[in-house]
């Protein structure tokens, strides 16, 4: 039975078992290695490179590979196909938004990196707007002005990275559309090849949906921090932070046209909305 190449939306949630069939026992190996990987993570914190991208290294490559298999085992979209240059760049640029903006707990950084790589499911995290504010207070800044400056710098950095990410995501989406249109005309592809192509499209779409979701979460956290900082220690620097948040809020909608509004729900990043209750008739005839 072939996958409908015209509609990869179902592949956003359901992963065919054939991903593991090419390497028997791979799933069992992942489960066996999971404790070791977690222990290794404790001595290998995620490091940021240039322009909000991960620092190149063997560790991140290892957990990215493990994450693909783990996501497939959970039923998420996972493709074994090689990444294009744009797809790899998309994942590198997403790193900034999928990792905490600031944290004073190394263990949370480790868990976030494992989640970013999909070794852990993203749904385990609970969004707490206060966490960023608490981290600012725990950083040991010498003055409240330093906290405002850090908040401003983080919001501006996010805002500046969004246009490039959105442009790249649109280019990947266009390539994916051409990929899907070509599948019905390919004569040498078998079911496995078609599945991998459709899964890669779903992976790309869900990654963009995740980044779009996280930019909103960050904006909420920044607003919470600004309001609480100003209540705690009013400073003129708050005006600059407010402008930085406005810049981020103005650029975040650049991600909206790339995917339908319900993409995060279809990717399993948000729970499905409860069905609306059907109201009974106002008048019942006797």
Name the burial class of residue 104, with classes exposed (0-12), middle (13-18) and buried (19+) by CB atoms within 10 angstroms of its CB: middle
Burial of 131 (0-12, 13-18, 19+ CB in 10 A): buried
41 within some domain:
yes
State the pLDDT at residue 105: 61
Q: What is the mean pLDDT of residues 43-69?
A: 54
Three-state DSSP state, 81 = coil
Question: Which residue did the predictor score with more confidence, 103 or 204?
Answer: 204
Domain count, the chain: 1
pLDDT tens profile 152-209: 999 999 999 999 999 999 999 999 999 999 999 999 999 999 999 999 999 999 999 9
Query: What's the pLDDT tens digit per position in 3-47?
Result: 444 455 444 444 433 333 433 333 443 444 455 445 444 444 445
Query: How confident is the prediction for the chain on average, in pLDDT?
Result: 78
Q: What does the alpha-carbon distance between residue 131 and residue 149 come to, in Å, rounded to a whole number?
A: 17
Looking up tokens 């996958």 gives: 3
Task: Note the pTM of the prediction, 2 decimals.
Answer: 0.75
Q: Cα separation of 89 and 39, whole Å?
A: 28
Range of the domain at 26: 12-266
Give the residue, 46 or 239, on which the prediction is more confident.
239
Is 38 part of any domain?
yes
**CA–CA separation, 32 and 44 (whole Å):** 20
Q: Within a domain: residue 222?
A: yes
């Amino acid at each position: 039975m072939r996958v409908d190449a015209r509609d990869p939306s179902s592949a956003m949630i359901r992963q065919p078992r054939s991903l593991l069939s090419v390497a028997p026992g791979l799933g069992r190996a992942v489960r066996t290695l999971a404790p070791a990987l977690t222990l290794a993570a404790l001595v290998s914190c995620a490091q940021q490179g240039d322009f909000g991208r991960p620092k190149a290294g063997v560790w991140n490559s290892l957990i990215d590979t493990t994450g693909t298999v783990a996501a497939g085992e959970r039923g998420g979209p996972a493709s074994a196909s090689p990444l294009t240059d744009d797809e790899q760049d998309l994942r590198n640029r997403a790193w900034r938004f999928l990792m905490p903006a600031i944290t004073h707990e190394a263990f949370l950084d480790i868990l976030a990196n494992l989640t970013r790589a999909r070794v852990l499911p993203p749904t385990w995290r609970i969004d707490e707007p206060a966490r960023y504010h608490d981290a600012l207070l725990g950083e040991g800044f010498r003055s409240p002005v330093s906290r405002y400056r850090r908040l401003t710098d983080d919001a501006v950095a996010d805002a500046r990275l969004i246009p490039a990410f959105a442009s790249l995501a649109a280019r990947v989406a266009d390539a994916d559309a051409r990929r899907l249109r070509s599948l019905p005309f390919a004569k040498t592809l078998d079911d496995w090849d078609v599945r991998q192509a459709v899964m890669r499209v779903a992976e790309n779409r869900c990654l963009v949906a995740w980044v779009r979701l996280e930019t909103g979460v960050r904006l909420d956290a920044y607003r919470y921090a600004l309001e609480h900082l100003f209540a705690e220690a009013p400073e003129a620097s708050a005006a600059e932070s407010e402008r930085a948040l406005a810049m981020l809020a103005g650029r975040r909608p650049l991600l909206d046209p790339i995917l339908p509004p319900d993409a995060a729900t279809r990717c399993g990043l948000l729970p499905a909305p409860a069905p609306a209750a059907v109201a009974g008739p106002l008048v019942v005839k006797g």
